[in-house]
Amino acid sequence: MAANDAGNGVDAVSGGLILPFYLAGESGDTALIRGRLASVGLPATTILQRHQYPAAVASLQAEALAIAACLSTFMKFDGVFTLQAKGDAFVKTLFADVTSAGALRGYAAFDETASVPVADDVVAAMPASVPALLGSGYAAFTVDQGTENGRYQGIVELDGDTLSDAAMAWFANSEQVDSHIVASAAERDGTWTATALMLQRVASDGGAAGTAQQKEIHDDVWHTAKTLLQSVRRDELVDPDLGAEALVFRLFNSLRPHVAPAHPVADQCRCSPQKVETVLAQMAPQDLGDLVAESGKIEVTCEFCKIQRDFDPESLMGEGGTSTRH
Ligand SMILES: [Zn+2]
């Protein structure tokens, strides 16, 4: 059985993947540009099936899942990478996170009393509009390794047209390396395709030692690669019949792409009965009492995977020795 460096925890059968590749240009085999293509249509499909989002929100969510997956593999970390956006328009919260092992999840909260601001035919034609759906607000990108010093976050204002613009703004702030990302998602017959494709210039190790000629070659390759990436058509990005490798070679063939083994990405929540019970057990008895449903149980639904779990309030309160009886 082949090992992979994405860790063990996700089931590759569920279909998502992140394909690492690099572009060498005419230099030979030296990586001048690092690339990642995240294709998460199948996990996005099962995630979105559990939520009844309007098409515009579903499309935004699918893009967020693809972008989070794509960005996560540009960093070395052992934990969770999160993309979260807060808006003041139709969509209030957009959330996507992915573990270093490839477990992907997400949810969106939107104003269910308002009419959807983007028509379905517009949704089908272009990447999700940040100004129309989220309005003003911010996007936060967080790496959390579960240790005291293992958490860092970058925040950017939502002042571009797309989520890709927000991701690029964050990368420009944090990495100081030329990067470019495009993303799109589309649904056909209930199945989503969701793709994010990113290039990042490899910091030239030449520095002072690099010759002017080498720098010129690097600049030239970056310019060409970025132009090719910007030229990718939306229908190519969301073509369910075009494999990840095929797309990379189609786009960047002139720059000698080299691909590495893909990382699997799966629809996989991280909630558990124990985690919910721990949270409930820390609540005051009165607050717990307010949560009791008509069934007499405390019903907790995970906002990511929509699994509902029922807890017996008596036993929860009893554990803390503060059981109240009527
Ligand atoms: Zn869950």
Tell me, in angstroms, the distance from the centre of ligand 1 to residue 150's CA: 24
Q: Is 207 exposed, middle or buried (0-12, 13-18, 19+ CB in 10 A)?
A: exposed
Q: Which helix (H) or strand (E) holds 42?
A: helix 41-49
- The CATH number for 295's domain is 3.90.1280.10
Distance 10 CA to ligand 1 centre (A): 15
Global pTM reads 0.90
pLDDT band, residue 206 (cuts 50/70/90):
low
pLDDT score recorded for residue 314: 86
What is the whole-number distance in angstroms between the Cα of residue 181 and the centre of ligand 1? 29
Whether 190 and 175 map to the same domain: the answer is yes
Alpha helix segments (H runs only) across 73-211:
120-123, 130-133, 163-175
Structural domain includes residue 222: yes
Query: DSSP letters of 162-196?
Result: SHHHHHHHHHHHHH-S-EEEEEEEEEETTEEEEEE
Contact 238, 195 (CB under 8 A): yes
Torsion of CA 52, 54, 60, 65, to 10 degrees: 10
Question: Do 291 and 215 fall into the same domain?
Answer: no
Rounded to the nearest integer, the mean pLDDT of the chain is 89
247 & 277 share domain: no
Cα of 141 vs centre of ligand 1, distance in Å, is: 21
Q: Which domain holds residue 45?
A: 13-267
Task: Assess whether 245 and 188 both reside in one domain.
Answer: yes
The answer to whether the Cα torsion of 191, 94, 280, 278 is positive or negative is positive
- Residue 278 burial (CB count, 10 A): 10
Same domain, 277 and 166: no
Rg (CA), the chain: 22
pLDDT at 195 over 60: yes
Amino acid at 162: T
What single-letter amino acid sits at 80? V
Instruction: Quote the number of domains for the chain.
Output: 2
- Regarding whether 263 and 305 lie in a shared domain, the answer is no
Shared domain for 48 and 180, answered yes or no, is yes
CA of 271 to the centre of ligand 1 (A): 4
Instruction: Compute the distance from residue 174 Cα to the ligand 1 centre, in Å.
Output: 31
Q: Are residues 232 and 281 in the same domain?
A: no
Per-residue model confidence as pLDDT tens digits over 142-172: 999 988 888 999 999 999 999 999 999 998 8
Highest mean pLDDT among 26-30, 211-215, 267-271: 267-271
